[in-house]
A and B are shown apart, each in its own frame.
Chain A
Amino acid sequence: MTRKMFVAVALVALVGTRAFAEIDLSGSWQSINHEDALERGAGPNPDDWAGLPFNESGRAKALSFSQSIISMPERTCWFQTQWHIAAGPFSLRMWAVPDPITGKVQAWMVGAWETRAPMTIWMDGRPHPSKNAPHDQTGFTTGVWNGNELIATTTHLKTGYMRRNGAASSDQATITTHFRRHGDLLTLTLIMEDPVYLTEPYILTRSYNLATNPVAIGGPPCIVGDEGVESGRVPHYLPGKNPFVDEMMKRYGIPSDAAMGGAETMYPEYRDKIKAAFKRPEKCTINCG
């Protein structure tokens, strides 16, 4: 076979394969923050972990959390792993990085949300590194196509957060992100598994509109700063000393047991358990929209 012939056949094969193996996700995607609007915007209420499938360790870790901890220079950027896509309010920009020789997509980039580095989704079949390889906040992500669905798997994360009120994820967490597009609407389903802090996978979904205004690539980075916390002090609450455990009852009449989370709080039967204890306030007084 001549070289020309080989190239032609390879090109036809490549075009044919790509035509029914993927969908274009590139563009600027404006975040639609209609669900979990408070959690993603201003931030969740203190000690509100309802619907989060914590185990005892996860709950204990969260109860020890003091918001002042992020004033420590070494923890200023602590919480922003790739889960920030789900927990923050930010829009996305996606683009494909082609292999310079074959033109095949080598990686998808998901970037442009404040304080985070873009996520690189490697599409070239490379394996994840050894479990002993360094972990960082970006982690290591590979992707595969399932028809029109892009499935990305992220490992090698540092400890981060699941909610911005102290619910932590461990460095053993895995995030699976499903990208599905319907015309100008993009839906992400993010599934976190964490053998250290969760009893079941934690699932969140987020939606985006295709935007004509470009989302900036590489928002301002998380910058470590000295906010005056004296050296050696780690802001925290000792067991039994967290002052916010009744906050959801005070604000919304939601029993503290429900606010403490756990897998049972995710399912319909749990409503029967809290029905008698729930006290609906006459009027919303805080974070009402």
Chain B
Amino acid sequence: MSALVIEALGRRVGARRRLVLDGLSLRVEAGSVAVVLGPSGSGKSTLLRCLAGLEPFDAGRVALGTLEVPPGGQAALLGRVGMVFQSVELFPHLRVLENCTLASRLRGEAEPEREARTWLERLGLLDRWDAWPQSLSGGERQRVAIARALSCRPAALLWDEPTSALDPERKREVASHVAAVRDRGIPQVVVTHDAELSAALQASRYRLADGRLTPLPAGTG
């Protein structure tokens, strides 16, 4: 695995070309975690969407291993950077295992189920492989979403407010999931305003404000 490098990322949105990301830079080494804190509307979602390849950026670059992404080239990140959505977004018409294998099946992989089964097992969901998403609890759904993202062997993983939809009991588990992914050497970016999660993670912490990141001293959340 290699580092996720973000250099001088710029992004304007809307008819008034509001500046949301203003030369934002960040380097996340393989196997490390960056936590991005910041109020709503500070551009956290825009940052994640740019890194996932869902939104273009106007300036700067993103690098991931040998992949170099210039402005306008964000589509190259699709399928390479995984994302755990705030709203989870399981596919309701597919069973748990099908959710995790859809992408690898469509890519024509020889063993589309292998990685999916590995992650479902690690996350304690293997016995739920043929359940429909609607029959799962909130915590289980999120674990399926994590397994689904990792089944595609992403080179980086993004988390968008991973604790917002969970009850307090389940919130604590998220930190252990992040740690499990870190052990695989995958660089991760966690966007949250959950101070408890931030404190539970072994990570570098940043605050996003005015379109840039400011490192926060260790020990603050």
Q: Do A and B come from one complex?
A: no
Report which A residues bind B (CB closer than 8 A).
none
Chain B positions within 8 Å of A, measured between CB atoms, are none
